[in-house]
Amino acid sequence: METIELADGGILLYEHAFIPPEIADRYLASLRNECVWEQKPALFGHMQPRLTASYGEAGIVYRYSGLDNVARPWTDTMLEIKNRIESVHGKYNYCLLNRYRDGADSMGWHADDEPEMGNVIGSLSLGATRKFRIRHNESKQTMSFPAGHGTLILMAGTMQQFWKHHIPKTAVKVDERINLTFRHIQTNP
Query: Could you report the per-residue pLDDT of 72-125, keeping only the tens digit for each?
Result: 999 999 999 999 999 999 999 999 999 999 998 988 899 988 878 888 999 999
| Predicted TM-score of the model (pTM) | 0.92
Q: What is the fold of 2-183? A: Jelly Rolls (2.60.120)
> HSE-up of 107 (CA within 13 Å, CB side)?
25
Could you say which residues of the chain have pLDDT below 50?
Answer: 189
Q: Phi, psi (5° rounding) for residue 35?
A: -80, 150
d(CA 24, CA 30): 10
Taking CA atoms, 91 is separated from 88, 104, 182, in Å, by: 10, 32, 9
Write down the pLDDT at residue 189: 47
Q: What is the structure's pLDDT at 43? A: 60
Q: Name, in order, each residue with C-beta under 8 angstroms of 116's C-beta and a sequence gap of 6 or more.
A: 63, 185, 186, 187
